[in-house]
Structure 1
Amino acid sequence: MAAARPGGQVSSAERPVRPPGAGQRRALALGAAAWLVQPLYVVAELLAAARSSAPYSLLDQTISDLGATTCTAIDYAHGPVEVCSPWYPVINASLVVFGLLLAVGAVLLRRFLPRRRSATASTVAWVVVGLSSVATGLVPLDRDLTLHSLVALPALLASPAALLLLAASLRRAVPWLSAATAAVGLASLVGAVAFLVTTGSPDLGGLWERLGFWPTYLWLPVVAAVLLRRART
């Protein structure tokens, strides 16, 4: 419920902008659709993992191993890892497509969030996540491991930040969604930090990286559905 000022007036900072015209209704529909399809990225990743020609562990190996364009050994800090992913075009294209959709969806849905600085900051963070995902898909790790790592890092760091900022922006407008989004953001933060701290270990890197990223792909559809319903009522 929106916060009320003395006298019963609703604070403008908590009131989402309603879509009065066809243009804004279209923006709402497109933005929500861009976020509603995000779980399909996880599906693409699981399919690529299942089709890996080299042994692949979702718990221990990074997502990037699935995007390697050749059958080779990647020289990680903890030692070489054999990779061979026939479905690398699927995972790399998914990083690009869903990254673009995530960023575009964030921009289109901004006007349907409460008028708070945290909402704007969240939108900026989502754009960073999306563009970093695009760059990650365009620079496979077997082509340039250093550059790949550099362009992928912003997405890992910005994902939990974007979720937590989004939670803050919804705190008064939709308390239950804010609390749930904060919990999801904290889980993502734990995954991101654990992944960075254990970079030199051959164990559980895949688990921590996915805990850092997957909450975004799986939770944004819930946020989109709530924003869609609220804006249409």
Structure 2
Amino acid sequence: MIVVQLVVATRWATDFSLTRNTISDLGAVQCDTICSPWHALMNGTFMVIGALLSLGALLVASTVVAGARARMAAWALGLLVVAGISSSAVGFVPLDVDSGLHALVATPVFVTQPVALVLLGAVALRRRGSQGRSTGAFLLGCGVVGVLGAVAFAVTLATGDDGALYERIALWTCNVAVGALGWTVLRNGRHGVWDTEA
């Protein structure tokens, strides 16, 4: 997702700023105040990545067994499903087509994704062995950074300041963490992230 954003940004006729232009600007379909020639690639990426995030969370959820930690992991994976739906919806409703609806469908990803990472981090921290603890610390750290970035981005939206850098901190941190989590699960299965004895 991050690579596609950077590629799409290079196709702008005007200078694209990582601190002024939001990620949603990359999906703008009309050439009025902003012009994103490769908006179709960006919006398609939102849709595909969101669908893959939801599908991946559902597949991982099917491996979780009973127990208190399993319930926490299941909640977290449910939040990732919501985040995936939110990301996909952003691709269907570009910012310059309906800004109100775009904001409505985009907002959940800023809440659900970092909170899910915090929960999954907490579950993995309780796993025996150094890999579980290191995975847990990584997910927890990324989740906290994602929450802080989302809060800072919300503040800039309310004040009218440039907040695109905070948006990227919120979302890119979570993108990296979710990618790392997916890799860990693919490589090691359920036991690569958490055990659910309790």
Q: Same fold (TM over 0.5)?
A: yes
1:105 has 2:56 as partner:
yes
Tell which structure's C-alpha radius of gyration is larger. 1
Q: 2 CA distance for matches of 1:118 and 1:194?
A: 27
Contact 1:187 1:211 in 2 (8 A): yes
- 1:162-181 mapped onto 2 (5 Å cutoff): 162-173=116-127, 174-181=132-139
Shift of 1:114: 6.3
Distance 1:225 1:55, change over 3 A: closer
Q: 1:232 to 1:176 in 2, by over 3 A?
A: closer
Taking a change above 3 Å as real, the CA distance of residues 91 and 182 of structure 1, as seen in their structure-2 partners, is same
Question: Which of residues 170, 194, 201 in structure 1 aligns to 2:160?
Answer: 201
Deviation for aligned residue 1:225? 2.6
What are structure 1's unaligned runs of at least 5 residues?
1-40, 74-82
Deviation digits for residues 13-62 of structure 1 (CA, Å, limit 9, x no counterpart): xxxxxxxxxxxxxxxxxxxxxxxxxxxx1111111111112332111211
Cα separation, 1, equivalents of 2:48 and 2:190: 28
Question: 3-state DSSP class of the match of 2:90?
Answer: helix
Name 2:4's counterpart in structure 1: 44
**Superposed, which structure 2 residues align to 1:112-131 within 5 Å?**
112-113=63-64, 115=66, 116-131=70-85
Q: Give the C-alpha shift of residue 111 in structure 1.
A: 3.4
Q: TM-score under structure 1 normalisation?
A: 0.74
The root-mean-square deviation of aligned C-alpha atoms, in Å, is 1.7
Which one of 94, 108, 117 corresponds to residue 154 of structure 1?
108
- TM-score, normalised to structure 2's length? 0.87
Are the aligned partners of 2:138 and 2:177 in contact in 1 as well (CA < 8 Å)?
no
User: The residue matched to 1:131 in structure 2 has which SS?
Assistant: helix
**1:114 & 1:179 partners in 2: Cα distance?**
22
More helix by share: 2
Identity of aligned residues (%): 39
| Structure with greater contact order relative to length (CA < 8 Å, sep ≥ 6) | 1
Query: What is the count of residue pairs matched by the alignment?
Result: 183
CA distance in 2, matches of 1:167, 1:70: 40
Partner of 2:21: 61
1:105 CA displacement: 0.4
In structure 1, C-alpha distance between the alignment counterparts of 2:65 and 2:100, rounded to whole Å = 39
Corresponding letter in the other structure for 2:106:
A
Give distance in 2, aligned partners of 1:54 and 1:157: 32
- Name the aligned partner's letter for residue 59 of structure 1: T
